[in-house]
Amino acid sequence: MRQREKIKIKTPREINLMKESGNVLAACHDMLAAHCRPGVTTKELDRLAEEFIRSHGGVPTFLGYGGFPGTICISINDEVVHGIPGPRLIKEGDIVSIDCGVTLNGWVSDSARTHIVGEVPPAVRKLVEVTKECLYLGIAQARAGKFIRDIGLAVQKHAEANNFGVVRVLVGHGVGRQMHEPPQVPNYDTGMKGPQLKEGMVLAIEPMINLGTFNVCQLDDGWTYVTADHQPSAHWEHTVAITSGEAKILTDGLD
C-alpha cells in the first residue's frame, strides 16, 4: 500500500494532455476491436497495437514495464489480467480482455475492454455487460467530496447483486506521468474510507469481475492471473479525472 504517498493533483492543462493520450488509446482499442476475431493470434493484436501507438506519436506504456514483454495485456476466458501476447489463437466463443496503456508527451492513459467473440453462453455475456456497468457505476461515484471507498462499494454492490465475484488482489490506481500512482482504488469494500476525492485527481477505475469465485492465482509465467475455479473473468477500465461535477472520462475517445 502506498496510501501515505501524496496524491498528485493535475492542472486543467495536464488533464488536457492526458485526454490527448487517452484519445490515442481509445482509437487503438477501436482498431483492436475490429481485429479481435477468430483466427488472429494475440501476438498479432499486440503488434498492431504497438504500430498504432507509435504511428500516433505515443509510446506503449506496458512494454518493458516491470519487464512485461507486450504492448497489450490480453487475457482470455479464465485469465483475469496480465496475459502475455503470444501464438495463442482467438477463437469463436472466447471473451478477450485487452488492457493497454499509452504514454503521449509524458502523460499516461490506461484502459481495458472485454470483447465477446461470436456466440457465448448468456451467463458469460451477462458477466461482460455487468462488469462494464460496474465500471460506469464506479465512475459515477468518482466525484469531488466522495471517498475512494464509494467507488468500490458501488462496483461490489452491482457485481454481487448478480452473484459475480469481485477480484480483491488487483486494484485500480492513480495515473499521471506514471502508470501507477497513489491512491489504490479497490473494487470492493476494504472497510476503510480511503482518501477523499478532489478536483484534479486522475484515477484508473478497473473492475475485474469473475463469473464464480473472486479468488485468483498467478501462473508460473510470472504475469498471468487466472480465476481459481477457471470460470471466465471480465475487465473494463477507464482513466478518469475528478472535476467539480461528473468525472471526465479521458479514455473514451469522446469530446
Q: Which residues bind Mg ion (CB under 5 A)?
A: 99, 110, 112, 204, 206, 237
Q: Nearest distance from residue 178's CB to Mg ion, in Å?
A: 11
Q: List Cβ neighbours of 222 (8 Å cut-off, separation of 6 or more).
A: none
User: How many angstroms separate the CA atoms of 170 and 172, rounded?
Assistant: 7
Q: Nearest distance from residue 71's CB to Mg ion, in Å?
A: 12
Q: Nearest distance from residue 230's CB to Mg ion, in Å?
A: 23
Q: Nearest distance from residue 219's CB to Mg ion, in Å?
A: 18
> Which has the closest alpha carbon to 21: 114, 132, 111?
111
Q: Nearest distance from residue 175's CB to Mg ion, in Å?
A: 7
User: How many angstroms separate the CA atoms of 49 and 51, rounded?
Assistant: 5
Nearer to Mg ion, 65 or 147 (CB): 65
> Which has the closest alpha carbon to 88: 213, 221, 235, 210?
221
Nearer to Mg ion, 150 or 237 (CB): 237
Q: Nearest distance from residue 45's CB to Mg ion, in Å?
A: 15
Nearer to Mg ion, 20 or 110 (CB): 110
Cross-strand partners of 174: 181, 203
Nearer to Mg ion, 69 or 229 (CB): 69
User: How many angstroms separate the CA atoms of 34 and 160, rounded?
Assistant: 31
Nearer to Mg ion, 99 or 181 (CB): 99
> Which has the closest alpha carbon to 46: 30, 60, 66, 65?
60
Q: Measure CA 97 to chain center.
A: 9
Instruction: Give the SS3 label for residue 67.
Output: helix
Q: How many helices and strands in the chain, by DSSP H and E? A: 4, 15
Nearer to Mg ion, 29 or 248 (CB): 29
